[in-house]
């Protein structure tokens, strides 16, 4: 079975996305496609045995009308949106108008788009570049970079355009939603993965000891890391979500995330001291934020020791604020600051 036939079989069996494809075909809009996430997310849900519609924020519909007035696009949106009655909202956009608002939204200007295929060509990831439509009952697929990446559960950046920030954000959300998907990093960025049973726990423990060595003799009481061994870390990876950063196949950093009531607790954020200044800690924190958003948690929380003023300052720069101070057992003075960040 060809990749196109395999894709069509999956889409036709999906009760969320296929009705949207059928509805789009009856709108009479020029150059009309259902694109991107609705397609590859549906494939990933099928391959990972998740329910239809899982992880879909919306279904993107592109069309191309040379009338670039907002009034005309607004009439199309108001006419067509009520026709999509599925559980996932539809987002309808005239690609001929994108250059008019793109700079305000994304911070850089782009030239006018010529047609919807060009818009699909320019997505932030090569694996996201896909559109489908029904023509006379037959499914047409436009995938300029092929379908193999989707079926291989890979996200590959499109470096032809300056999409680094978008690729990072989408990659973080994808990993938080479908941890089986491999996110190929932007050049010079670390690769972020979720730890599992096959993790190199010796290497992970060694990284943490290197990263936390500067605390020795500075904090009282000593770090709880000193009481953890390999079995304890295996259990921690099972009960919490641990993300790893690798740079040139070298373990560069990690962060542990633990869901607690209405918040995601961030612990053991660590970066190899030899790799400081590369933005690795910020990328790991971005991944933690993505996980919290996917789980519907409105708050990140962490603790930092009173003595580590540089850590406190770094978390303030990341958008955290101090919400309280606590003392370890047996200490009359505060030993830790609690910090939180609203999402």
pLDDT tens-digit map of 219-256: 999 998 888 889 988 999 999 999 999 999 899 999 99
Does the pLDDT of residue 1 top 90, yes or no? no
Q: For all residues of the chain together, what is the average pLDDT?
A: 96
Mean pLDDT of 142-159: 97
pLDDT tens-digit map of 30-82: 999 999 999 999 999 999 999 999 999 999 999 999 999 999 999 999 999 99
pTM: 0.94
Is the separation of the CB atoms in 298 and 262 below 8 Å? yes
pLDDT tens-digit map of 180-222: 999 999 999 999 999 999 999 999 999 999 999 999 999 999 9
**CB burial string 109-118: b at 16+ within 10 A, e below:** eeeebeebbe
pLDDT tens-digit map of 257-274: 999 999 999 999 999 999
Identify the pLDDT of residue 312.
97
92 vs 206: CA distance, rounded Å: 50
Mean pLDDT of 11-21: 98
Strand order in 321-326's β-sheet? 191-194, 241-247, 250-260, 263-271, 299-305, 336-342, 321-326
Label residue 18 by pLDDT band (50, 70, 90). Answer: very high
Q: Which burial class, exposed, middle or buried, applies to 272 when counting CB atoms under 10 A from its CB (0-12, 13-18, 19+)?
A: buried
């Amino acid at each position: 079975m060809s990749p196109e036939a395999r894709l069509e079989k999956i889409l036709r069996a999906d009760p969320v996305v296929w009705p949207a494809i059928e509805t789009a075909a009856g709108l009479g809009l020029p150059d009309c496609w259902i694109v991107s996430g609705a397609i590859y997310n549906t494939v990933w849900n099928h391959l990972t045995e998740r329910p239809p519609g899982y992880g879909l924020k919306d279904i993107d519909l592109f069309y191309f009308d040379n009338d670039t007035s907002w009034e005309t696009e607004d009439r199309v949106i108001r006419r067509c949106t009520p026709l999509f009655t599925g559980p996932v909202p539809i987002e309808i956009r005239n690609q001929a108008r994108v250059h008019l608002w793109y700079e305000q939204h994304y911070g850089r200007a782009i030239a006018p788009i010529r047609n919807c295929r060009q818009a699909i060509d320019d997505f932030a990831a090569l694996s996201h570049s896909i559109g489908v439509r029904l023509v006379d009952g037959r499914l047409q697929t436009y995938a300029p970079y092929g379908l193999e990446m989707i079926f291989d559960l890979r996200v590959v950046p499109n470096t032809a355009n300056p999409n680094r920030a978008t690729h990072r954000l989408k990659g973080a959300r994808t990993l938080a939603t479908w941890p089986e998907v491999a996110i190929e990093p932007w050049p010079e960025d670390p690769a972020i993965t979720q730890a599992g049973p096959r993790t190199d726990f010796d290497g992970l423990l060694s990284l943490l000891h290197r990263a936390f060595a500067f605390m020795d003799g500075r904090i009282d009481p000593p770090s709880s890391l000193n009481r953890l061994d390999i079995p304890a870390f295996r259990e921690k990876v099972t009960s919490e979500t641990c993300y790893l950063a690798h740079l040139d196949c070298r373990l560069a950093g990690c962060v542990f995330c633990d869901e607690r009531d209405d918040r995601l607790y961030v612990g053991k954020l660590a970066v190899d001291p030899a790799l400081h200044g590369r933005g690795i800690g910020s990328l790991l924190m971005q991944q933690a934020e993505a996980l919290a958003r996917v789980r519907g948690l409105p708050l990140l929380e962490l603790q930092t020791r009173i003595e580590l003023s540089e850590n406190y300052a770094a978390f303030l720069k990341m958008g955290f604020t101090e919400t309280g101070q606590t003392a370890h057992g047996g200490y009359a003075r505060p030993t830790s600051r609690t910090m939180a960040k609203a999402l």
